[in-house]
Structure 1
Amino acid sequence: MSEEVSQPADDATDSAERAFRAGFVSFVGRPNVGKSTLTNALVGEKIVITSEKPQTTRRVIRGIVHRPDGQLIIVDTPGIHRPRTLLGERLNALVETTLGDVDVIGFCVPANEKIGPGDRFIDERLNDFPRAKKVAILTKIDSASQTEIIDQLTKLGAMREWDAVVPISSTEDQQLDILSEVLLDLMPESPALYENETITDESEDERIAELIREAALAGAREELPHSLAASVDDREEREDGLIEIYASVYVERDSQKGIVIGKGGQRLKSIGETARKGIEELLGQRVYLSIRVKVLKEWQRDPKALGKLGF
């Protein structure tokens, strides 16, 4: 299957002759269009948790893509949404600030779903960030027919004059190299902004807490996903190489605590097992993980509680 891709005009320039470029890109789009999966695929390592639940990302996370001719710093942000809590207002303010500073905004739309009101709402919001160049990214092309892809590319092209349009599949690694080249060509000439070995500015404890939250989000129902937060409270490396990690999962009400723990503690045990596997993969060591579930009443609306949780 071949798909059309528009690229900056100087794409034919040999990479060996190009000046080194570095800059910041942020991906936007409605929930479940593949933003976090794309970030992880481009970086080459899982630095952002993924979930089917909306508004999974809660803070700015930077992932660094290293190429011979430049660096792409992917700034993963909370989604643009209509806030219902103080947390939502703070996340929106974070998005506004971030998108106002990046060099490129990638607008992600899935190839296998119709463009709807949510997509158009975000497209309109892009006008609020005139500094950034705009790239349309058609995601999940592995799940769409060629007819659907062409139709979606046509509709994307009608929305605005994009600096580039690139169809990709993150899970099948289709056209990710092309996307990296397109994004890099839109970046300013600049020396490297991060050391070669750096792939994210997240600390290990922050990444561990996110893996725990990701495990807790799986299968969570109703309003529970928005009420979940996680933190690493303590960690200790034993002489036998085992790392002991003590963490907390926060909810807003006593009833939610019971849901997270589950009957006979089975759900919490499952959360711990899933999270531990991810943490061991991250650290490359065996892990003992202890998770306590705590109630922090209405923390999404409480400024003091938000501060305690790093918001």
Structure 2
Amino acid sequence: MANFKSGFVSIVGRPNVGKSTLLNKIMGHKISIVTSKAQTTRNNIKGILNKKDAYQIIFIDTPGVHNPKNDLDKVMNASALKSIKDVDLVLFLVPADEPIGKNDNFLLNELEKRDVPKILVITKADNVKKDKLLEKVIEWKSLSSNFKDVVITSSVENINIEKLKEIILDKLPESEHPYYPYETITDQPNRFLIREIIRENILLKTGQEIPHSVAILIDDLDDEENILNISASIIVERKSQKGIIIGKAGNKIKDIKYKSKKELQEIFGKKVNLEVFVKVQENWRNSPSLIKKLGYDKDKY
């Protein structure tokens, strides 16, 4: 296939720098869930951008690298660092509106060890004046001269998103064939997508009350031609968190269920029956067996 380009692009950065938002913007599809909370992404998620006979870009959205406080955090960090191995290009995302921190420096040091092309992507440019953006570029260039390019972006204002895509394509190798069928936009199974949609609506509905001590387990999934039947458990660590999710007279869990069901029906294009149950599993984030059962497998990393 003449001049066809295909390759893997890892998107890395500390928590809440806009990795998932950027991926969704580039893709034009919702691939990763997005909230204002740090560490929303827990798994490496592939978004596959296709143009037939021209290119296939496989983006890998990763958890934000942070100081681990439990076994789940360690799995998330290992997942993110593994993503920079055996890829064709790394996008290192840093925010324009925050100081350079220890997690940024840790990731930069890890990237410096890898013989892979790196693009520095400065995000959230809409939050900063132009002179401050220039200062941020100079500050980062003083820390490393190994970036193939520096791109200032804003997913909210659509600043330089197409330019970034053009630079990515320029850096990718030519290939004889795509890695995935053209109709594929993600490699994640339906169970994963359903879990993430429910978890996103919990995070959006509960504010700061339920940070990251919640996980979703799909107990039963029956996918018929015209209807999708789902039974899911919401796992929390404390009884007080169970009460927060259920809400007064069950109003909060009803709203979470309604919004999750509505979004899933739009995604799958069919009727969805959704049952949800809230269960307490104390200290689940330090339970290797439950972490694996919930889809966060340390053995992969």
Give the structure-2-normalised TM-score.
0.89
How does 1:13-162 map onto structure 2 within 5 Å?
A: 19-67=3-51, 69-128=54-113, 130-161=114-145, 162=147
CA deviation vs aligned residue, 1:254-290 (integer Å, no higher than 9, x gap): 2221111112111111211221222122112232322
Residue 299 of structure 2: aligned partner: none
How far has the Cα of 1:170 moved from its partner? 1.5
How does 1:147-296 map onto structure 2 within 5 Å?
A: 147-161=131-145, 162-190=147-175, 191-220=177-206, 224-236=210-222, 241-296=226-281
CA contact (8 A) 2:87 2:116 kept: yes
How far has the Cα of 1:214 moved from its partner? 0.4
- Number of aligned residues: 293
Deviates more, 1:190-199 or 1:59-68: 59-68
User: What root-mean-square deviation, in Å, do the aligned CA atoms of Structure 1 and Structure 2 show?
Assistant: 2.2
Aligned partner of residue 63 in structure 1, secondary structure: strand
Aligned equivalents of 1:302, 1:83: Cα separation in 2: 15
Residue 7 of structure 1: aligned partner: none
Aligned equivalents of 1:111, 1:310: Cα separation in 2: 33
Aligned equivalents of 2:85, 2:6: Cα separation in 1: 17
| Percent identical | 41
Letter in 2 for 1:88: D
Aligned partner of residue 246 in structure 1, secondary structure: strand
How far has the Cα of 1:32 moved from its partner? 1.9
Structure 1 unaligned regions, length at least 5: 1-16
Aligned equivalents of 1:238, 1:57: Cα separation in 2: 29
Give the structure-1-normalised TM-score.
0.86
- The 1:30–1:94 alpha-carbon spacing in structure 2 relative to 1, beyond 3 Å, is closer
Aligned partner of residue 211 in structure 2, secondary structure: helix
